[in-house]
């Protein structure tokens, strides 16, 4: 069942608690990057060099979810065809709503669930002409229901400051593990670009 964005007005105490939580979450994300070996950040690794690829064809090729059109249109199209959920699972597709920064919405594949409010995603074109793997996304919704998220921004090496409204998660016909997503990403890039 789709959730609507918005919600009750945020009290000052909630804003202070949320700011403290985001500071702790951001610290955890930074530590994850410091702990990785091999000289690359654990958050938001680029895959496959520069590729002219949009988010929807990549997510379709990686998950097998047969939806088309703008990313934001995937949510209503999925009704009756795929399970739609308010909680993430590996291999599910996070669908962001249209907003001033995302006129077509955005889709990203959940590669790992870290906690009830933190996931990693693999996606195309969050950074222009790039595929990013295992990029952090944090639920910042007041109701802890994934209706508002913040996304990691690889060029800055930190969680972005903009909050994006989200519909939820579309479950593919077959669940995918983290290893299957990582192994399938190069092939999905080839398929989605016609290569």
Query: What is residue 46's predicted lDDT score, i.e. its pLDDT?
Result: 77
- Block residue for tokens 């398929």: 191
Give pLDDT, residue 89. 97
pLDDT recorded at residue 159: 93
pLDDT single digits (tens) 138-191: 999 999 999 999 999 998 999 999 999 999 999 999 999 999 999 999 999 999
pLDDT value for 97: 98
Phi, psi (rounded to 5 degrees) for 36: -80, 150
Q: Each residue of 3-60: pLDDT tens digit?
A: 344 434 444 444 444 444 444 444 344 333 222 223 334 455 778 778 889 999 999 9
Better pLDDT: 162 or 194: 162
Distinct helix (H) and strand (E) counts, the chain: 4, 9
| Model pLDDT, residue 44 | 54
Q: Higher confidence at residue 2 or residue 155?
A: 155
For the chain, what is the mean pLDDT? 83
43-193: which CATH architecture?
Answer: Alpha-Beta Complex (3.90)
pLDDT of residue 85: 97
Q: Rounded to whole angstroms, how far apart are CA atoms 185 and 131?
A: 9
CA distances from 142 to 7, 23, 108, 176, 182 (A): 8, 16, 22, 29, 32
Residue 160 to residues 24, 72, 138, 164: CA-CA distances in angstroms?
A: 15, 20, 10, 10
Determine the 3-state secondary structure of 134 from DSSP.
Answer: strand
Q: What is residue 181's three-state secondary structure?
A: helix
Residue ranges per structural domain of the chain: 43-193
60-96 pLDDT, tens digit per residue, is: 999 999 999 999 999 999 999 999 999 999 999 999 9
pTM of the model: 0.79
């Amino acid at each position: 069942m789709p959730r609507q964005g918005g919600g009750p007005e945020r009290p000052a105490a909630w804003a202070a608690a949320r700011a403290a939580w985001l500071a702790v979450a951001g610290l955890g994300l930074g530590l994850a990057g410091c702990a990785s070996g091999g000289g690359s950040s654990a958050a938001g690794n680029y895959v496959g060099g520069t590729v002219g690829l949009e988010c929807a064809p990549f997510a379709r090729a990686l998950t097998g979810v047969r939806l088309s059109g703008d990313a934001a249109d995937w949510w209503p199209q999925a009704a009756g065809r795929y399970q739609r959920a308010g909680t993430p699972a590996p291999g599910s597709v996070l669908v962001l709503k249209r907003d001033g920064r995302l006129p077509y919405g955005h889709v990203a594949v959940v590669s790992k669930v870290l906690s009830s409010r933190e996931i990693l995603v693999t996606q195309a074109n969050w950074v222009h002409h790039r595929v990013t793997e295992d990029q952090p996304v944090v639920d910042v919704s007041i109701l802890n229901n994934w209706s508002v998220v913040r996304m990691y921004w690889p060029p800055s090496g930190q969680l972005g400051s903009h909050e994006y409204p989200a519909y939820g998660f579309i479950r593919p016909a077959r669940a995918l593990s983290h290893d299957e997503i990582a192994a399938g990403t190069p092939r999905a890039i080839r398929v989605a670009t016609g290569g």
